[in-house]
Amino acid sequence: MYNEDNYLQLSGLQHYLFCPRQWALIHIENQWQENLRTVDGAFMHSNVHQEGSVEKRKDKLTVRGMRIASPDLGVSGQCDAVEFLRDEKGISLPGYEGRWMPVPVEYKHGSPKEDLCDVAQLCGQAMCLEEMLCCSIEAGALYYGETRRRQAVAFTPELRQTVREALARMHELYARGHTPSAKPKKGCNACSLKDICLPRLQKSGTVAAYLKKNLEDTL
């Protein structure tokens, strides 16, 4: 169990899985730069996050901007939305008849990714909700702005283990105040921190040339 003073931001999980150095620059060194992707993403979340608002439609109750935390994982954060669906296997909610199954829903600006960044963040939200509400959540959903479609996400034992291992490593790095070294990859060019992260003054003169050279060396 973690003390509340040592909680990390759950939103940092996707940063860590994309690049541990990016996460450390943001959450340990407090570096941040906005690019078009981060600005658009923040705009989408500002439209979704109406903290504490509740909307009921038939057998679905939607809570937006719900605050979450987990002493077990040592994280806190906020869900874009949690949909409570009427389900006999669910939990009771004060002021509402019947039982309700919580389903976390995360809104993303772009399109579905091949890596685990988004699905792991959603799984982390579910694990927080399970601890808070004393229930079991089997699945959630990601909504992508570019495709305007939902993607169902199953919270498998393997995905849950990925979340636990990543958060444990994040706590270790944070406690040490350690920022991992740079490991250039294809995603670096789209990173909002590339100008801070990568060595600037190579003889090649440009970040693109630096990336090209280092990526070729790794192929």
Element (H, E) at 161: helix 157-176
Q: What pLDDT, on a 0 to 100 scale, did the predictor assign at position 218?
A: 54
pTM attached to this predicted model: 0.82
Q: 118 and 207: one domain?
A: no
Q: Measure the CA–CA gap between 217 and 40, rounded to whole angstroms.
A: 34
Q: 136 and 41: one domain?
A: yes
Q: What pLDDT, on a 0 to 100 scale, did the predictor assign at position 92?
A: 96
Q: 138 and 196: one domain?
A: no
Domain containing residue 199: 183-219
b/e map 80-89, b = 16+ CB within 10 Å: bbbbbeeeee
Residues 6+ apart with CB under 8 A from 215: 184, 185, 186
The SS3 of residue 129 is helix
Q: 189 and 171: one domain?
A: no
Give first-to-last CA distance, the chain, whole Å: 42
Domain count, the chain: 2
Q: Which residue has the higher pLDDT, 117 or 207?
A: 117
Residue 210 has pLDDT above 80, yes or no: no
Q: 177 and 189: one domain?
A: no
β-pair type (54-57, 75-93):
unpaired
Q: What is the CATH number of the domain that holds 167?
A: 3.90.320.10
Q: 160 and 79: one domain?
A: yes
Q: 142 and 169: one domain?
A: yes
Annotate 172-210 with DSSP letters as a single string: HHHHHT--PPP---GGGGG-TTHHHHS----TT-SHHHH
Q: 138 and 202: one domain?
A: no
